[in-house]
Amino acid sequence: VKMSIALTFDEGAAIVAGGSGGIGSQICRDFGKAGLNVVFTYHGNVARAQALEKEIAGFGVQCRAVKVDLTDFSTVDALFNDAANRYGNIRQVVYAAGPAFEFAKIGDIDPAEWKRVIEQDVVGAFNLVNCAIRCFQRQGAGGNLVALITAAVERIARADLMSASPKAAIETLIRGAAVEYGKEGIRANCVAPGWINAGLGKKGIEEKMTPDMVAKILNSVIPLKKFGEATDISHATLFLCSQQAGFITGQTIAVDGGAQT
Ligand SMILES: NC(=O)c1ccc[n+]([C@@H]2O[C@H](COP(=O)([O-])OP(=O)(O)OC[C@H]3O[C@@H](n4cnc5c(N)ncnc54)[C@H](OP(=O)(O)O)[C@@H]3O)[C@@H](O)[C@H]2O)c1
Kindly report whether the global pTM for this prediction surpasses the value 0.95: yes
Give the residue among 89, 45, 91 at the shortest CA–CA distance from 67.
Answer: 45
Separation in Å, CA 122 to CA 34, 51, 55, 147: 29, 28, 30, 11
Over residues 34-91, the pLDDT tens digits come to: 999 999 999 999 999 999 999 999 999 999 999 999 999 999 999 999 999 999 999 9
Q: 21 CA distance to ligand 1 centroid (A)? A: 5
pLDDT bracket for residue 169 (50, 70, 90): very high
Q: Which residues line ligand 1 (CB under 6 A)?
A: 18, 20-24, 42-45, 68-71, 96-100, 120, 124, 148, 150, 163, 193, 195-196, 198-201
Residue 82 to residue 48: CA distance in whole angstroms: 22
- Ligand 1, residues 15, 200, 253: which to mutate, most atoms within 8 A of Cβ? 200
